Amino acid sequence: MRVLDVTRARNRVERLPQRFLPVIATFAVFVLTFGTGAVRYDGFASAQIFTNLFVDNAFLIVLAVGMTFVILTGGIDLSVGAVAALSTMIAAATLHAGWPPLMSVLAVLVTGTTLGLLMGLVIHVFDVQPFIVTLAGMFLARGLCLLISVESISITDPLFRTMATGTITLTDGVTLTYSVLIALAVVLAAVYVLHLTRFGRTVYAVGGSASSARLMGLPTDRVRVGVYAVSGFCSALGGLLFSLYMLSGYGLHGVGMELDVIAAVVIGGTLLSGGVGYVAGSVLGVLVLGTVQTLISFEGSLSSWWTRIVIGVLLLAFIMFQRLIVRRTE
């Protein structure tokens, strides 16, 4: 009877589409890491600790959504951290100058989307590698940050501070911030676009084979440019959420954040070669990174650099896992 049950379970796994395996693996890693913390530390398994994974990483979730669009087409965007920092600077500087909050938010979103669109156009028109173009965009955004101010600018606007400190009570002692709701709304919108619109289906087609998608009559050029505009918008929105988290704008905010975002998306199961991946997986990747950071903070005796070491090991493991899946399907 046991042999029969094992055989049935194995058949179910074999019938499972290969594209779901990386996401399932990410979910398993998340359960394993969170479960390890629950067993090892008192209070780790509380609902508020789980909720704090979203609270502390809401901005990273939004950035990961934009990066997922880009990597699904086989591209990369190294400018997301710098654009997020530029967004905090624009928000803080405009609010300090007396702009209405709504105008400040619009200025941030328009700037980020425009930068992403310009990078996408350069990649398409001049046929330059995304790595080089977005690297230039990263330096440009950092330079613009320092052009605005070399010092940190505090945000004292009442509406921003209300958004930053306001909470939503789920149950007794369990609260969420407004940033989490915004991040989850972005995730739901991204899922809808990727799976229920022509734009989203073309994103997957371009990542699978751009030449085949072009022969099918799909608007591949517009999509290749559009995903960088989406990434720019998400970077700007993520920067706004980060400014709420820090209540300041600073040119050195988000240094190295682009690497965390790429790591979260890859750990979440999105293939760097494009064509395979899910936004839900990217969210799980962010939660895995957040859980690792929480584990190290609970340990207390470990340096924060252990977070980077663990992330590096996880990233390498998932890249090898993805490569095995690709070889198996070839």
pLDDT attached to residue 6: 44
* Residue 252 DSSP SS3: coil
Into how many domains does the chain fold? 1
Could you tell me the residue range of the domain that residue 322 belongs to? 19-329
Core vs surface per residue 116-125: b (16+ CB within 10 A) or e: bbbbbebbbe
Residue 6 in any domain: the answer is: no
Assign 43 a pLDDT band (cuts: 50, 70, 90). Answer: confident
Assign 13 a pLDDT band (cuts: 50, 70, 90). Answer: very low
The candidate with the shortest Cα–Cα distance to 315, out of 293, 276, 288, is: 288
For the CA atoms of the chain, what is the radius of gyration?
21
pLDDT attached to residue 52: 96
Please say if the pLDDT value at position 156 is more than 70. Answer: yes
pLDDT attached to residue 15: 56
Residue 84 in any domain: the answer is: yes
Assign 1 a pLDDT band (cuts: 50, 70, 90). Answer: very low
Core vs surface per residue 141-154: b (16+ CB within 10 A) or e: bbebbeebeeeebe
Residue 115 in any domain: the answer is: yes
pLDDT tens sequence across 102-153 = 999 999 999 999 999 999 999 999 999 999 999 999 999 999 999 999 999 9
pLDDT tens sequence across 192-206 = 999 999 999 999 999
pLDDT tens sequence across 226-241 = 999 999 999 999 999 9
Residue 295 in any domain: the answer is: yes
pLDDT tens sequence across 55-93 = 999 999 999 999 999 999 999 999 999 999 999 999 999
Choose between 16 and 127: higher pLDDT.
127
Q: For residues 180 and 59, give the distance between their C-alpha atoms in angstroms, rounded to a whole number.
A: 8
Those residues whose C-beta lies under 8 Å from the C-beta of residue 196, and which sit 6 or more positions away, are none
Choose between 222 and 321: higher pLDDT.
222
Residue 3 in any domain: the answer is: no
Q: For residues 253 and 255, give the distance between their C-alpha atoms in angstroms, rounded to a whole number.
A: 6
Q: For residues 248 and 143, give the distance between their C-alpha atoms in angstroms, rounded to a whole number.
A: 18
CATH number at residue 249: 1.10.3470
* Residue 243 DSSP SS3: helix
Those residues whose C-beta lies under 8 Å from the C-beta of residue 52, and which sit 6 or more positions away, are 294
